[in-house]
Structure 1
Amino acid sequence: MKTASLTQNIEYHESKPTIKVLMETETGKEIRIAFKTGQVMKKHQTPFPIVVEIFEGQIDFGVDDKILALAKGDLVALDGDVPHDLTAVKDSIVRLSLNKADSSQRVEDVANKA
């Protein structure tokens, strides 16, 4: 058994989203992304399917030339190779579920390009 918390030890970086791997299992990875208002993860994609949960706050989620206004409790599932971007409308906590074969370093690299 493994446990983790989306709400404990949250750190916000002043200029870019903060990435924290919360848990890794045999099938996937759970990552917390902490956004300050206005922070962006520029357009990117992954070769694997993902699920994004807005745990707290509000995110403008860009996909297919549309912007989805996502708020606390909303979920989005994307197939691999779908370009998308995120912009924090409010301070936000996002839970990202990755495939085991995907890299948390890739997510960190996207955040660092903010």
Structure 2
Amino acid sequence: MKTANFNNDKIFGDKIVTKVILESDFSKEIRILLGAGQVMKEHESKFPIVIHVLSGSIDLGVKKKTHKLNKGGIIALEANVPHDLSALKDSVIRLTLSKSDSVERVNSVADNSVK
């Protein structure tokens, strides 16, 4: 059994902050701290993902259509679906990745996005 907490050590900054919170036999649970106005540019994953807004509010662009997700909102995307995230206010996002997906890919998107 493994336990973790998405609320520990939340510090919003000048850049998007990502952190692996929990890794299981089948998934990687990542916390993304997206400050108000920050954007993760369009990207996609070779594997299905789940995006869950734990707090705050974001606009999620999927295939050039915008979906507003508020606190508690959750969405599952199939593999290879282009998407982007824009924080309307400081937001804590839970990203569930397949065990086969790469955390470095997510970090690269965050590092290369508009801050």
Q: State the TM bucket, normalised to the shorter chain.
A: over 0.9
Task: Write the deviation string for residues 54-103 of structure 1: whole angstroms up to 9, x where unpaired.
Answer: 00000000002110011000001000000000000000000000000001
Q: Which residue in 2 is equivalent to 1:28? A: 27
Q: Which amino acid aligns with 1:2?
A: K
Separation in structure 2 between the aligned mates of residue 11 and residue 105 of structure 1, nearest angstrom: 20
TM-score, normalised to structure 1, is: 0.97
Aligned to 2:4: 4
Give 3-state SS (helix, strand or coil) of 1:91's partner: strand
Which consecutive residues of structure 1, in runs of 5 or more, have no partner in the other structure? none
SS in structure 2 of the partner of residue 52 of structure 1: strand
Runs of 4+ in 1 over 2 A off after TM superposition: none
Query: Structure 2 counterpart of 1:91, which letter?
Result: D
Aligned to 2:55: 56
Instruction: Give the residue type in structure 1 aligned to 2:96.
Output: S
Aligned to 1:68: 67
Task: Give the number of equivalent residue pairs.
Answer: 113
Distance 1:19 1:13 in 2: 11
Instruction: Name the aligned partner's letter for residue 72 of structure 2.
Output: G
List gaps (5 residues or longer) in structure 2. Answer: none
Structure 1: how far apart are the matches of 2:13 and 2:105?
A: 18
> Post-superposition shift, 1:13?
2.4
Q: Percent sequence identity over matched residues?
A: 47
- Alpha-carbon deviations, 1:13-56, whole Å to 9, x = none? 21x21000001111010000001100010000000000000000
Q: What pairs with 1:27-106 in structure 2 (closer than 5 Å)?
A: 27-106=26-105
Distance 2:12 2:107 in 1: 14
CA distance in 1, matches of 2:67, 2:25: 31
Provide TM-score, normalisation by structure 2: 0.96
Q: Shift of the alpha carbon at 1:11?
A: 2.2
Secondary structure at 1:106's aligned position in 2?
helix
